Amino acid sequence: MAFVVTPIASDTADGILAWCGVTSPTPADLVIVNLAASAAEDAINFYRHVDTLEAEYQSLAIEIGVYLYSKRGVDGVLSFSENGVARSFEKGSIPTSMLARIRLPIAAGPS
């Protein structure tokens, strides 16, 4: 399967690559990081009931994206140990500890 070079789609994707120390991403890395960035932004926007990512949630979107990017290949695994390194994950695609940092919008009352 041939990959097409995908440009960085957002500041979130750029931030994920920087946080992970990826300086020369492969076309596959770009696809994965763009998917992680989209998933992170979509999750925040869903909870905030907005269409575009608000600036105050940019760092959280990057943090969630890094989590998703780093977890690829171990979907559905809660913990494992390999070569003396133990890793554990919260249940779900995005940890509830991260989602809990998203404030729900205040409903506008009658004026």
Q: Please state, in angstroms and rounded to a whole number, the distance separating the CA atoms of residues 30 and 91.
A: 26
Residue 82 β-bridge partners: 85
Q: Please state, in angstroms and rounded to a whole number, the distance separating the CA atoms of residues 13 and 15.
A: 5
pLDDT of res. 10 = 85
pLDDT band at 109 (very low <50, low <70, confident <90, very high): low
Q: Tell me the per-residue pLDDT of 35-85, one tens digit each, with 9 for 90 and over.
A: 999 999 999 999 999 999 999 999 999 999 999 988 876 766 777 788 888
Q: Please state, in angstroms and rounded to a whole number, the distance separating the CA atoms of residues 102 and 74.
A: 25
pLDDT band at 8 (very low <50, low <70, confident <90, very high): low
| Amino acid in position 14 | D
Residue 14 has pLDDT above 80, yes or no: yes
**DSSP 3-state of 87:** strand
